[in-house]
Amino acid sequence: MNLEGFPDLPAFPPGEVWLAGAGPGDPRLLTVLALHAVSQADDIVHDALIDPRVLRLAHQDAVLLPVGKRGGRPSPKQDEINALLVERARAGRRVLRLKGGDPFVFGRGWDEVTALSEAQLRFRIIPGLTAGLAGAALAGIPATSRDTNHAVVLAAGHRAEGQSTADWEALGRLGQPLILYMPMTQLEEIVAALQRGGLPGDTPAALVQSATTEAERVVESRLDALAGDALRHGIGSPCIAVIGAIATLRRQALASMVGWS
């Protein structure tokens, strides 16, 4: 690979915090800048779903600090994570906050930016590929196509503190495809509310579990059968749900699409 003429990568000074997205799962989907950050950081404060092969790219003296939130299991509170970032940066460490997907797409990245700003610490944002778009695309489902839609709705199906606060009936009335992040604990309720909002039961749908990883599983369905099919196939988190006409395009893509393996 010839990188002649490629832009220089920024220095990672002591006392700074970089907030980086690690992408949807496959370590090859790291951005160049995120890869650089992992290799330079003294402390890596990371989510539970970061591929271990990404963490092995850290230098030998780096400290790995897992702070992942997993449903139903004890995990650090966001205030504790914020305090950890501030503490390590004030100690003169190069601190990388490594999050799955993109830090600003249902990733609590803004909470951490606010804490760092209030502490008057310097930080850098490194966007990542968000699972709802990249995971769907690599499963053969485009977020938009000229023939199906000119808008798409991204929504969180579950919040770290509990139930989603999305107005699902209102989203059902939009008539636009939906991509739901982590919807499994509320899937049955979400499906019912979307139908109450007017979204037809025969609306195409798909579930993508463990997107872009070796454990990926895809179930094609329709809205009124989605929860039942998820149960029948044993689909669980991490998962995205795609609801709308774009879900039907996968069959066309799969005819010639080359996988990652």
Indicate which residues carry an active-site annotation.
Answer: 47, 69, 182
Q: How many CA atoms, within 13 angstroms, populate the side-chain half-sphere of residue 146? A: 0
Beta strands in 166-216 (DSSP E): 178-181, 204-209
| 25 contacts 136 by C-beta, under 8 angstroms | no
Roughly how many angstroms between the first and final C-alpha of the chain, as a whole number? 20
Q: What is the CA radius of gyration of the chain?
A: 20
CA–CA distance, 15 with 93 (Å, rounded to integer): 5
Assign residue 106 a region: left if phi > 0, alpha if psi is -120 to 50, beta otherwise?
left
What are the residues whose beta carbons fall under 8 Å from the beta carbon of 49, sequence distance 6 or more? 25, 68, 100, 238
The crossing angle, in degrees rounded to 10, of helices 226-233 and 187-196 is 160
Read off φ and ψ for residue 49, nearest 5 degrees: -90, 10
